[in-house]
Structure 1
Amino acid sequence: MVHPVSGFRGTRAGVTAGTGSSLQGGADHGSPLPRIRVSYWCAKGHVTEPVFLQLPDVQIPAVWDCRRCGALASRDGSEAAGTEALDDGYKTHLEYVKERRSDQDAEDVLAGALERLRARGVLPDELLRDP
């Protein structure tokens, strides 16, 4: 429970403009603040349409993350084509392993693991033998 004199005052999901300059809407529920839907297109042609408070055009972001593929999307679609090639630095576990090991190292590790399994009797000798 929040103390009635608390300094923390939030807004509801449906922010309204009450009397005066407050955005809170208090006891007299004013009309909802004007909203706009902005379209963003990624390089793959997906459309993302987040809703913003009606703000000056310069305050609305020029790029937004695509909800379908995660790539950057722009309002006119032209910037998105150039940003697709940017690397965000994320690598999968397999990519890290491939950086550390060559194909021959991978074959050696697999052969050693299969030999240990055969020695424990988990795998039959004829199964997965090199031809």
Structure 2
Amino acid sequence: MVHGTPGYRGTRVGVAQGSEARNHSDHGQGDQLPRIRVPYWCSKGHETRLVFLKLPDEQIPQTWDCPKCGMPASRDPGRPAAPRTDEELYKSHLDYVKERRSSQDAEAVLAGALERLRARGVLSDQLLEDA
């Protein structure tokens, strides 16, 4: 069964002005805060439209990472954001892991994890023979 309320207390930012913290947002109190939709374009032409609270223009980010390609996107379609330098390029989770661990460390962690799975009976040696 799916429970009708989220599993955390409070409300999302901008749900209702003057409302008390509740565990669901359908309490019917407060007025909706004004919102605006802001478009961003990357150098590859991808358009991303984000919704923000209606804030002063200087509080809305001028650039945003494109969710499709990871390149920086700007609010001006005719002037894409400057590409990142080599130090700022997108890193995957694996890249961060490789920065923290050497190949030997990774082998030791993997061996330990496999040993714990075998001890619990979750992993048999027959499953590893095909790999």
TM-score by length of 2: 0.49
Using structure 1 for the length normalisation, give the TM-score.
0.49
Looking at CA atoms only, which structure, 1 or 2, has the larger radius of gyration? 1
